[in-house]
């Protein structure tokens, strides 16, 4: 049966919900160090990296509580520098830097309560 299912070839985009899209767009523009590659005012902001990976923010149309998201790992070449620079501009990080056999990570939180990871492969 698995042979009949089309093969997934990659991840096109990963999105977080944002209650305040303008505020969250500024946060990620600063965090990522680049302007959004696409914007639909009041609805979507999206950043596409040189390798084609895309991260975006989406403001739902419905009123009511917005669920927070987590799980996106942003690649950085120098984890200590990226973490300290973002702490200096007021970004909240939780816990200490984590060191695993495969990578090093720091765990941050955006203006909307979504969590993210700054990630450096070994």
Give me the domains of the chain, ranges plus CATH numbers: 2-121 (3.10.180.10)
Distance CA 36, CA 120 (A): 23
Distance CA 43, CA 28 (A): 15
**pLDDT higher than threshold 80 for residue 108:** yes
3-class SS at 17? strand
Its pTM stands at: 0.89
Distance CA 110, CA 48 (A): 19
Q: What is the pLDDT of residues 36-79, one digit of tens each?
A: 999 999 999 999 999 999 999 999 987 778 889 999 999 999 99
pLDDT band at 19 (very low <50, low <70, confident <90, very high): very high
């Amino acid at each position: 049966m698995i042979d009949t299912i089309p093969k997934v070839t990659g991840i096109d985009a990963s999105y977080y919900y944002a209650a305040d899209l303008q505020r969250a767009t500024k946060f990620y523009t600063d965090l990522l160090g680049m302007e959004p590659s696409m914007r639909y005012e009041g609805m979507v902001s999206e950043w596409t990296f040189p390798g084609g990976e895309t991260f975006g923010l989406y403001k739902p149309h419905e009123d009511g509580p917005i669920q927070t998201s987590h799980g996106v790992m942003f690649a950085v070449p120098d984890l200590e520098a990226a973490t300290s620079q973002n702490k200096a501009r007021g970004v909240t990080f939780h816990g200490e830097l984590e060191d695993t056999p495969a990578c090093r990570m720091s765990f941050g939180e955006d203006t909307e309560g979504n969590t993210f990871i700054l990630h450096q492969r070994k």
